[in-house]
Amino acid sequence: MLLATFALRETDATMAEYLKAIMRRLGVRLGLLANFHDVKLEISAVRLKESNE
């Protein structure tokens, strides 16, 4: 599992795509995006699709 922490006012799909690129390089299938900007911690799961290689 890979954890990406950040503090941004707004997030978009770019953060998930960036995390997926790192996950591919490291061979990790599950990642978490943790945004500490607001009063409430916002966590999003990011998964890579299984490849049939």
Domain ranges (residues) in the chain: 2-37
Confidence band (pLDDT; 50, 70, 90) for 32? very high
What's the chain's Rg over C-alpha atoms? 12
Q: In the block, which residue shows the tokens 């390089």?
A: 25
Q: Taking the complete model, does pTM exceed 0.85, yes or no? A: no
Other CB atoms within 10 A of residue 22 CB? 12
Determine how β-strand 2-6 pairs with β-strand 30-35. parallel
Confidence band (pLDDT; 50, 70, 90) for 49? confident
